[in-house]
Structure 1
Amino acid sequence: MEDHWAKIIEAVGEDLSRPGLRDTPKRAAKAFEFLTQGYGQSVEDVVNDALFPSDSDEMILVQNIELYSLCEHHLLPFIGKCHVAYIPTGKVLGLSKVARIVDVFARRLQIQESLTAQIAETVMAVTNAEGVGVIVEAQHMCMMMRGVAKQNSSMKTSAMLGSFRSDQKTREEFLSLLRM
């Protein structure tokens, strides 16, 4: 990857022998590996059996989980937050594991719509929940730094599964908790 970064830097007209760029291909490769580390992670390893028996059947909401991802179209960052709610059916997921699931998928090349769906489907599968709701709010550098250059634009996506899709009251409870 380091060689490819060197070629990209040279292709824009830069001189890799100047002091500020000598180690840039190596640093860029290391940074890109970190930004895409989700490819080397599995949900099973991240969850690591952190499912705990529980009698709770009320909504669990983890909100404002920060996320950093790269869009698959321009390889530019999108940055935002994720809100994940689920209604357990006998098992609850360790709190940090919800955030780790978000990171597994955020640290891959993709679009926000897919990211939102992947998080919801994974939480549903892992917890066997009655329902799952996920909302992602993000600002996309491909909209802000290039193209239309709209600095204050943001995108919101949602995925509602199970009772969050079929029961309007469950969906409304989720959305009202986010407004608090």
Structure 2
Amino acid sequence: MTFSTQQKSVTVPSSLETEPQPIVSEEEMRQAVRTLLLGLGENPDREGLQDTPKRVVKALKFLTSGYHQSLDELLNGAVFHEDTNEMVLVRDIDLFSSCEHHILPILGRAHVAYIPDGKVIGLSKIARICEMYGRRLQVQERLTKQIADALQGLLQPKGVAVVIEATHMCMVMRGVQKPGSWTSSSAVRGVFAEDAKTRQEFMNLIRHSPSFS
């Protein structure tokens, strides 16, 4: 696994981190789904498909709800001053996202560690950060980087490390059709990038994860 040695100190804006979206009504979205069904050769008026446009729009809005969350709202003040400098690791965080190229699922796990420098974050908030960025149209490389940069900007710790292992349904269900294939991506900041021993300690800890067995 290759780690980037680039170190960044990133301040993450508290406002919504996406460009303004065009205003489209829910009815227009439903009509778009209906058009897709017609294009697939289906009859959107048959019993089993009558409510499908409504369900698809509702599902897509949920799966991309991360666009409408901010780190400030998510954290809700759960950053605390603490005199500790030992590694904090939350591993095996279930991760669900959607490939931006085909809008098909990305399924996997994230392992997130940081070394505090006077501030710590509520452990559940690490999972929430992964969830927020996961619930967007993504590529795995960007998702990994966004999680690392968010923690780096929020805590200014001595270092951050993120590894994601995921399987992509766009490779499993279509295209090359390779079930069982997994993609690993990593992002390291601070001492994890600079110190091989610290980086190795992190890797040794996550290798005990079921997803690495």
Q: TM-score range by the shorter chain?
A: over 0.9
Q: Distance in 1 between matches of 2:156 and 2:65?
A: 26
Distance in 2 of aligned mates of 1:125 and 1:76: 30
- Matches of 1:146 and 1:118, distance apart in 2: 27
- Bigger RCO of structures 1 and 2 (CA < 8 A, at least 6 apart): 2
Structure 1: distance between partners of 2:153 and 2:178: 37
Point out the structure with the larger helix share: 1
CA distance in 2 between counterparts of 1:120 and 1:103 reads: 13
Equivalent of 1:85 in 90, 93, 113: 113
User: For residues 5 and 17 of structure 1, what CA distance do their matches in structure 2 show?
Assistant: 12
Aligned to 1:162: 190
**Could you tell me which residue of structure 2 aligns to residue 106 of structure 1?**
134
Where has structure 1 moved over 6 Å in runs of 4 or more? Answer: none
Matches of residues 114-153 of structure 1 in structure 2 within 5 Å?
114-153=142-181
Q: Which amino acid aligns with 1:127?
A: L
2:114 match: secondary structure: strand
Cα offset for 1:157? 0.2
Whole-angstrom distance in 2 between the partners of 1:2 and 1:40: 20
Matched, 1:69 2:102: no
Secondary structure at the aligned position of 2:164 is classed as strand
Deviation at 1:115, TM superposition (A): 0.2
Richer in strand (by share): 1
Aligned length: 180
Identity of aligned residues (%): 51
1:2 aligns with 2:23: no
Q: TM-score, normalised by structure 2?
A: 0.83
Can you list the C-alpha shifts for 1:82-112, whole angstroms capped at 9, x where unaligned?
0000000111100110011001111111200
SS of the residue corresponding to residue 17 of structure 1 reads: coil
> Which one of the candidate residues 96, 120, 124 is aligned to 1:96?
124
Residues in 2 aligned to 1:123 and 1:26: alpha-carbon distance in whole angstroms: 36
Partner of 1:57: 85
Q: How far is 1:127 from its partner?
A: 1.2
Deviations along 1:104-153, one digit per CA (max 9) or x if unpaired, are 11111120000000000001111111000000000000000000000010
CA RMSD of aligned residues (A): 0.7
5+ residue gaps, structure 2, are 1-28, 209-213
Matched AA of 2:194: S
What is the CA–CA distance in structure 2 between the aligned matches of 1:136 and 1:179, rounded to whole Å? 12
